Amino acid sequence: MNNQIPSGGVPFNNNQGMGFNQATMPSPPIPNLQQMNMGNAGNVGNHQVNPHIPSNSMGMSANHLPKQHVPIQNQPMSMNLPNQPMGMNLPNQPMGMPLSNQPMSMPLPPNPINHQMNSPFPPIQPMKMALPNMHQPIGGMPLPNQQMTMPLPDNFANQAIHAPPLPNIPPQLNQMGNNFGSQPMPQLNSMPMQNIPQGFNQPNVMSGNVMAPSSMNNGMGGGMMPNSGMGYNQMNMGIPGNCMNPQMNNNANTSPLDPGRKLDLLSLNNIWETGFGNALPGAPLNVANMHAKGDSRVIRSTIGNVPETRELLKKSRLPFGVALQPFRDLTNLSIIQAHIVRCRHCRTYINPFVKFPDSRRWKCNICFRLNDLPEEFYYNPATKDRGEPSDRPEIKCATIEYIAPSEYMVRPPQPSCYLFVLDVSSNAQKSGYLQEFCEKLILNLGNLPGAKAKNALISFVCVDQYIHLFKFDEKNALPKEFTVVDIDDPFIPDFTGFVVNLEHFYEQVKKFLEVLPKLYEHNHSPSNCLGSALKVAQFLIGSVGGRVSVFQASLPDVGQGALKNRQNSESKISETELLSSANDFYKQFSLDASSAQIGIDLFALGNEYIDLATLTDLPKFSSGETYHISDADMEAFCGKDPRFEKILVRYLTRKIGWEAVLRIRCTQGLAIHTFFGNHFVRSIDLINIPCVSPDMGMGVQLELEEDLNGIDCVCIQTALLYSSATNDRRIRVHTICLPVSNNLIDIYKSFDILPAISLLTKMAAERATHNVELGDCREALINSALDAFTAYNRSVGVQRSCLLAPNTDLKFLPMFILGCLKHYAFAGSNKAVRVDRRVAALQFFTISSLEMIASEVYPVLYDINSILNLDHDIPDPGDRPLKPAPLPLSYGRIGSDEIYLMDAGSRMYLLVGVNPDLNVVNELFGVSSTNQIQDFSIFEENQGKCNQRLFNYIHKIMHKRGQYSLIIVIKQNGNSRHHFVSRLVEDKTESGHSYNEFIKHIHQTMIKNT
């Protein structure tokens, strides 16, 4: 293979009327010499950038540049790539729908006024998007019609057995006694929440007044709670009526997690004591493998029991959808290379939840049609002996990865191609990121996915007021720099050497990165032409596809897609507008990139306003991610902020799935309503993901198109088709099976808070960046809790004095919603949030996994001793840890002689009390007194036993969710305490209400509406 991608001669279009495929279909290499404004430069290492241009390019107008006529080389395609922009055959469509050039409107949630759907969110303006012409051969792989030669064993016969009853979860929670800290009685009527729509028609309301909480002030003070070695307090279950009175007893042997119990949230002092986690129902017995379980870290439904009818779903008022992380790092993934067995009708991959009606056939769990079982299913793949279909990994595992045969591709899998777009303007120099970027990239060049397979390509584009390109060749130790000064119409006649094979040019690339920071350290260029540079980037790798990583520290204020500083604009621009894009340039570019299999990630660095609301369109439509690393809220921070380094290393070395498409199939009757996340929706069930990342989360809102009468379970199957960095084509298939229920109470019992809050925040973030006022988004979040509780209380018979919740995850919904309202992504306008920071937070919710979202919304607070005393592995952070038991997020629970760890997602806080145990302090910090601990500093690792133990725990959490959290030490009597205190969701703050106030508001509104 040659080392460079082919040259061509496509003049860049300007910003108008760019077709989807224009950049991906090279024109004949006829140079437009009038447009050639490239300076041919000297070697970078000598810093003789261009004999005609001063090295900083400042003060030079384009006119001063000599127009050089660079000879055009018409090289043959070096990688044997056909001209198709897509590298895959889509093997799964019955595809009646033409994909080309039809305007497509994104499916939108219905108007909440009608309350037809279970979405409380206000509508956004329809987004019209033209579909790219993907030039894909479409059609499924024909399946051989094989005859069965062996009878199936009896246990494959259709068994009309229904789902097992819900098992109870044994009591495992850590314990608390009766010494509840008191919570201040909230002031009611302080929430300015108006115009909350009526949730339901008038139900049968039992008479009675709102009862004041009976056990709120039990006089126990606000001391620190012991939370080890004490029995869990079982709720008193002997109270007549529907309403649980949370009087405590000391019976530690009975389960706190009885989903049949009802709780009154108004009189519950510590909701966490009632347990966390649902016992989700399993698959029916008559599926091929009833023991198979969908991986809840990968795909997780907001409702475990799917309502049988549309009416029932509507009545429940629960958000319905799944949280997805389809490319998540998995340690126990089954990878097989075998004949891929799929339904010949709907192309579903065979899975554990199909049925075997007889010995010869399998019944598809998506379309219910019958298929022949291939003969190889009667051979055990491990032993090669005769076996049973249940021995097959496809039937054993709900998650499986196939190495796909050639039918699944129309060209060889694309190489791993990395293009870095680096801001080198004066603002970027101030942020100092470039030095660190180069250092980390040098260290990890060999760890880039594809580097070991020797097929990785790499390229660099530096941006200030001009575009700087770097041409590598074998004769020189360093590349030559070329400066494109005509940024309104950039043109490169010959781009040989700008994108090179990393293996072949390893030493040159390394040397280049060593000198790069020095090259621009005195750059005074105040401007940035990102839009034009991106056009060049697209030109460079458009025929290959790949990943463009944009490192941006300044507002792109010149060239194509130039932006103005809207934040400081004299004309008063509303926050709603500031949170939406200023122009369509970046969105259109992102769509073009997506169609050329280019994904764009954005690192927003430093504290300057860069109009992130507009720039996040780059990752938004090309399935990329946004990383906002700013220290604007960290004025007093001590030491070096390690976030950029940690996030960058993970970013560079984590695996990548190239040229991916994700298809989601649902059992007939169930349908996809809306996708939420960063991606381009190609059709109702298919999204384009040029570079899929293991950390990328998404949400899918589901709906019932028709009733599910007579169906015992529904299945959702996701199939991610991608090219691996080792140059093969793979399909990762996840399937979950959800029982169908006609019992509303069972549906409430199966509500799952983590995927629900993930979906709700993704919906709110989507709308907040599409011209919907933040106030409306907040109101929609509140309504999601109000609607669900109104409906539940109605279903169990309303008692006006109670706010009833089943003892399942539904009881946490108000708590998590309150956490959302207090998060700076959604917080009210009286909470000063810089626009870029808020946009970044909204993007965080759009793309994050459900674990990160849950911790961000409602942090997990531990007494440090409960971690140090742990004697076993931690549970998966996908669920709230049961051990050690989290403490309520209230300052009343914080003692002055302890140390606490708060896991708040992207940050963790270590709060050091005023008088902690000095032995523990010594073990944790390596100092003898708290005076030696610096407030608002990084918590560093050392050799202390406690320190190692705590970091062991923290690293496990970070490792499992694949994302770095900044760990900050806060002193209880220090000046930075507010960083910790502001995350105590249950407490009243200047701009937010306490949890007690909030549930009283929910209750009062519910009563008012009924």
Q: How far is the CB of 284 from Zn ion (least distance, A)?
A: 18
Nearer to Zn ion, 152 or 366 (CB): 366
Residue type, 649: V
Interacting residues with Zn ion between 876 and 935 (CB under 5 A)? none
For strand 860-863 and strand 899-904, is the pairing parallel, antiparallel, or unpaired? antiparallel
Interacting residues with Zn ion between 225 and 264 (CB under 5 A)? none
Nearest-Å Rg of the Cα atoms of the chain is: 29
- Give the pair of three-digit tokens for residue 866: 């409960």
How far from 782 is each of 21, 298, 563, 786, 998, CA to CA, in Å?
A: 43, 27, 35, 6, 9
- Confirm or reject binding of residue 554 to Zn ion (CB under 5 A): no
Distance CA 578, CA 833 (A): 12
Nearer to Zn ion, 373 or 833 (CB): 373
- Residue partners of 65: CB distance under 8 A and separation at least 6: 37, 39, 52, 53, 483, 485
Residue type, 544: V
User: What mask of x and - would describe binding to Zn ion in positions 403 to 432, judged by CB under 5 A?
Assistant: ------------------------------
For strand 798-799 and strand 205-206, is the pairing parallel, antiparallel, or unpaired? parallel
Q: How far is the CB of 141 from Zn ion (least distance, A)?
A: 14
Interacting residues with Zn ion between 311 and 370 (CB under 5 A)? 343, 345-346, 348, 364, 366-367
Distance CA 652, CA 448 (A): 6
Distance CA 236, CA 769 (A): 46
Q: How far is the CB of 644 from Zn ion (least distance, A)?
A: 47
Distance CA 65, CA 67 (A): 6
Q: How far is the CB of 344 from Zn ion (least distance, A)?
A: 8
Nearer to Zn ion, 346 or 774 (CB): 346
Nearer to Zn ion, 737 or 786 (CB): 737
Q: How far is the CB of 309 from Zn ion (least distance, A)?
A: 23
How far from 666 is each of 75, 347, 713, CA to CA, in Å?
A: 47, 12, 11
Nearer to Zn ion, 88 or 343 (CB): 343
Q: What is the DSSP string of 250-318?
A: ---SS-S--TT-EEEGGG-S-GGGG----------TTSS-TT----TTTEEESBSSEESSHHHHHHHT-
Nearer to Zn ion, 345 or 650 (CB): 345
Residue 348 burial class via C-beta count within 10 angstroms: exposed 0-12, middle 13-18, buried 19 and up: buried
Per the DSSP assignment, residues forming a β-bridge with 307 are 741
Q: How far is the CB of 698 from Zn ion (least distance, A)?
A: 24
Nearer to Zn ion, 350 or 908 (CB): 350
Nearer to Zn ion, 343 or 395 (CB): 343
User: Which candidate, 176, 144, 139, places its Cα nearest to that of 250?
Assistant: 176
Per the DSSP assignment, residues forming a β-bridge with 550 are 421, 602
Q: How far is the CB of 278 from Zn ion (least distance, A)?
A: 30
Q: What are phi and psi of 703, to 5 degrees?
A: -145, 165
Whether the ω angle into residue 884 lies within 30 degrees of 0, i.e. cis, is yes
Nearer to Zn ion, 350 or 441 (CB): 350
User: Are 900 and 939 spatial neighbours (Cβ–Cβ below 8 Å)?
Assistant: no
- Residue partners of 878: CB distance under 8 A and separation at least 6: 296, 297, 300, 754, 850, 851, 960
Q: How far is the CB of 670 from Zn ion (least distance, A)?
A: 13
Q: How far is the CB of 709 from Zn ion (least distance, A)?
A: 19
Nearer to Zn ion, 286 or 674 (CB): 286
Nearer to Zn ion, 244 or 346 (CB): 346
Residue 172: DSSP 8-state = -
Q: How far is the CB of 992 from Zn ion (least distance, A)?
A: 49
User: Which candidate, 299, 9, 419, 358, places its Cα nearest to that of 152?
Assistant: 358
Nearer to Zn ion, 341 or 434 (CB): 341
Distance CA 655, CA 336 (A): 19
- Degrees, nearest 5: CA angle 270-272-278: 140
User: Are 609 and 628 spatial neighbours (Cβ–Cβ below 8 Å)?
Assistant: no
User: Are 665 and 703 spatial neighbours (Cβ–Cβ below 8 Å)?
Assistant: no
Residue 42: DSSP 8-state = -
Q: How far is the CB of 354 from Zn ion (least distance, A)?
A: 9
Interacting residues with Zn ion between 943 and 972 (CB under 5 A)? none
Q: Torsion angle, CA of 519/523/528/532, rounded to 10 degrees?
A: -40
Nearer to Zn ion, 501 or 668 (CB): 668
Q: How far is the CB of 361 from Zn ion (least distance, A)?
A: 12
Q: How far is the CB of 352 from Zn ion (least distance, A)?
A: 15
Q: What are phi and psi of 132, to 5 degrees?
A: -70, 150
Q: How far is the CB of 348 from Zn ion (least distance, A)?
A: 5
Distance CA 817, CA 756 (A): 10
Distance CA 518, CA 649 (A): 22
Nearer to Zn ion, 317 or 347 (CB): 347
Nearer to Zn ion, 735 or 807 (CB): 735
Q: How far is the CB of 281 from Zn ion (least distance, A)?
A: 23
> Number of residues in contact with Zn ion, rule: CB under 5 A?
7
Q: How far is the CB of 320 from Zn ion (least distance, A)?
A: 22
Q: How far is the CB of 665 from Zn ion (least distance, A)?
A: 8
Distance CA 924, CA 951 (A): 10
Nearer to Zn ion, 367 or 912 (CB): 367
User: Which candidate, 791, 693, 670, places its Cα nearest to that of 199?
Assistant: 791
Reported as half-sphere exposure (CB side, CA atoms, 13 A), residue 169 has a value of: 18
Nearer to Zn ion, 364 or 760 (CB): 364
Nearer to Zn ion, 156 or 353 (CB): 353
Interacting residues with Zn ion between 363 and 402 (CB under 5 A)? 364, 366-367
Interacting residues with Zn ion between 621 and 660 (CB under 5 A)? none
Q: How far is the CB of 345 from Zn ion (least distance, A)?
A: 5
- Residue partners of 815: CB distance under 8 A and separation at least 6: 271, 858, 985, 986, 995
The binding site for Zn ion (CB under 5 A) comprises 343, 345-346, 348, 364, 366-367
